[in-house]
Structure 1
Amino acid sequence: MVEKTGRPGYLQIADDLRRQIRTGSLAPGAALPSTAQLCQRYDVSASVVKAAISVLRTENLVVGQQGKGVFVREGAAEASVEAANAEGPASQDVMDQLAQMRQTLADLGGRIADLEKAVFQERKRSR
């Protein structure tokens, strides 16, 4: 089940499936459970499951075969572990940059609100 942690559900599902691939619970060549099964397991809609699988496709961990399903790629476990090891400090740098960008956007939003207030008050006075 997807938890209400603030992290999008599709990323939580991708994390769980990625962990299963990394640990070998989902072996290379193994089919992922169907969309319906994943929907039931995580108590989410099909669009959330499809978004999670899309993340794994982007990371080259799984491959879809039309009409057959989605399968774990050969070498996916090793690639997943390497990617996790590579994320370490760089991942923290990215998170720090995102936090800084959020703060900058919040500051800009406040400045825009102040400008709008001033402009609209000016218009009321001039009428």
Structure 2
Amino acid sequence: MVEKTGRPGYLQIADDLRTQIRTGSLASGAALPSTAQLCQRYDVSASVVKAAISVLRTEGLIVGQQGKGVFVREDAAAPAEEPASSEVMEQLAQMRSTLAALGDRIADLEKAVFQGPKRSR
């Protein structure tokens, strides 16, 4: 389950799956659980799972095969340095979080401004 730590859920899921790949719990060539299974395991929506999978795909740990699923790359379990893009991914996560907060604030402002009764013409 994703914890409320302030770190985006999709990054927590990506961290967990990355650890499983690195330790061999998800062996090279093994299929990842389906999106539905991951949604149930982590108690999140499909979009959160897809974002986590996208992170791992960008890092080169997994590959997707159309109509077959998503699989651990053959050489993914080998220990490697953190990808150079991890800092960029963290910055993107922070930007998404900030945009979501701004969206909420705008929605609150719209409710406050437009809360009066509607006038008929």
CA distance in 2, matches of 1:44, 1:83: 29
Q: What is the correspondence of 1:76-91 to structure 2 with a 5 Å cutoff?
A: 76-78=76-78, 81-84=79-82
Whether 2:14 is the aligned partner of 1:11: answer no
Identify unmatched segments of 5+ residues in structure 1.
Answer: 99-127
Which 4+ runs in 1 deviate beyond 6 A? none
TM-score for the superposition, normalised by structure 2 = 0.67
Using the TM superposition, give the Cα deviation of residue 83 of structure 1 relative to its aligned residue in structure 2, in angstroms.
1.8
Q: Which has the larger radius of gyration?
A: 1
Q: Residues 1-127 of structure 1 correspond to what in structure 2 (within 5 A)? A: 1-78=1-78, 81-84=79-82
1:112 is matched with none
Greater share of residues in helix: 1
Structure 2 residue runs of 5 or longer lacking an equivalent are 92-121
Q: How many aligned positions are there?
A: 87
Q: In 1, Cα distance between the equivalents of 2:41 and 2:7? A: 18
TM-score for both structures, normalised by structure 1: 0.64
Percent identical residues: 84
Matched to 1:41, the amino acid is R
